[in-house]
Amino acid sequence: MRQATVYIDSSALQYNLNRVKQLAPSAKIVSMVKANAYGHGVKDCLAALKESDAFGVACLQEALEIRQLGYQQPITLIEGVFSVDEMPVVIEQNIEIVVHHQQQLDWLLAYKEAYNAKKLKVWVKLNSGMNRLGFKLEHIKDVIHRLKAEGFNCILAMHFANADADHPLNDEQIRQFLEVKNDCAPLMGSCCNSAAIYKYPELHFDFVRPGIMLYGASPFADKTIHNLDLKPVMTFTAEIIALNSIKAGESVGYGSTLTADQDMDLAIVSIGYGDGYPRAFPQQNYVAINGQTTRVIGRVAMDMIAIEVTSLNVDLGTEVELWGQTRLVDDVAEANGTIGYELLCRLTNRPRRKVL
Ligand SMILES: Cc1ncc(COP(=O)(O)O)c(C=O)c1O
């Protein structure tokens, strides 16, 4: 049987959730489990994250899956509802919504009694310069005053465009957020994703919304998970299915992109882009065997890669770590010109999954 495997370490998830608790002790934690828990498998992750105060997802279908799995915590739809017919379902299932534009506000007001009867909170989104979703500064205070007058329990919500970097927009976003929060006081607030949880302890307010840090990948380009005291949750492995040697001047794989400058021992590993292992690698990529890193050689194919094993102690069936403990997903992402988030989310369902 093909042995490509995604291991999910529940204790690492719990460790990372505890890191959020340490960093933001007075805020409630909305664990972001959208996109199948960032590709980790929502069912297994919910079990490990059950101490969260709430969950955050991108759409109703994701929220209903959480309810079907039996979890009763509050759930926030971070983009709100996509059509008015979702409103009765949301209310029936005790799901909280973001409102980020006028049409959603009208839909919410049309369901005012039922929504408020369930004491559901409304997350009112400020567009402070990211310019994706939200009401602009000059409009949002009226929206909040109106909602409060209609009896809604509001939370001011905002998302940073550059929480992972020192960017001049950060100060402007914070200025706008604080202005709205003060002018509409009393008003609950939430603006911190993983990077902002680390970077802005003074902005944790009522709810923090950690995503990537729960899964043990770094939100910062210049900080590793070791710097941040996080543990990798996913370990992605495959096995050696053939051993080969090539002589200087020979090449391996499609396109014959690498010509060996000296004799080389190769192992063929049963993993490829059909599993979600990235193909591009503008920079040299590596895998790990027993804690030791070694080069990927030539092109990644749909089902196979070649790695160098000269002077390594390997055999058929030896397990190769594509990312996980030794070879961090963030490093694989960097070599591929992307971010850990993308590699984690875009795994296919071909590798088998095992929860530890
Ligand atoms: C509104 C919102 N909050 C929080 C998060 C979590 O972000 P991160 O995974 O960087 O912690 C996201 C993720 O995209 C988001 O869209």
Residue 254, Cβ density class (10 Å: 0-12 exposed, 13-18 middle, ≥19 buried)? exposed
CB atoms closer than 10 angstroms to residue 190: 25
Cβ-count burial 56-71 (b if 16+ within 10 Å, e if not):
bbebbebbbbbeeeeb
The string of pLDDT tens digits covering residues 211-222 is 999 999 999 999
Rounded CA gap, 281 and 242, in Å? Answer: 23
Rounded CA gap, 76 and 84, in Å? Answer: 17
Rounded CA gap, 352 and 354, in Å? Answer: 7
Average pLDDT of the residues of the chain = 97
The string of pLDDT tens digits covering residues 65-120 is 999 999 999 999 999 999 999 999 999 999 999 999 999 999 999 999 999 999 99
Question: Which atom of ligand 1 is nearest to 210's Cα?
Answer: 11
Rounded CA gap, 294 and 264, in Å? Answer: 12
Class at the top of the CATH hierarchy for domain 10-215:
alpha beta
Residue 254 designated active-site: yes
- pTM summary value: 0.95
Per domain, the residue ranges of the chain are 10-215, 234-355
Tokens of 74: 């509050």
Using CB distances shorter than 6 Å, the residues near ligand 1 are 32, 78, 159, 193-195, 209-213, 219
Tokens of 49: 């994250």
Tell me the percentage of the chain whose pLDDT exceeds 70: 100
Question: Which atom of ligand 1 is nearest to 163's Cα?
Answer: 10
For the segment 136-163, the average pLDDT, to the nearest whole number, is 97
Rounded CA gap, 9 and 233, in Å? Answer: 5
Protein residue with least CA distance to atom 14, ligand 1: 211
The string of pLDDT tens digits covering residues 192-216 is 999 999 999 999 999 999 999 999 9
Residue of 21, 112, 136, 254 with catalytic role? 254
The yes/no answer on whether domain 234-355 falls in CATH 1.25.40.10 is no
For the segment 284-293, the average pLDDT, to the nearest whole number, is 96
Q: Which residues neighbour 219 within 8 Å (Cβ) at sequence distance 6 or greater?
A: 163, 164, 193, 194, 195, 198, 212, 213
Residue 341 designated active-site: no
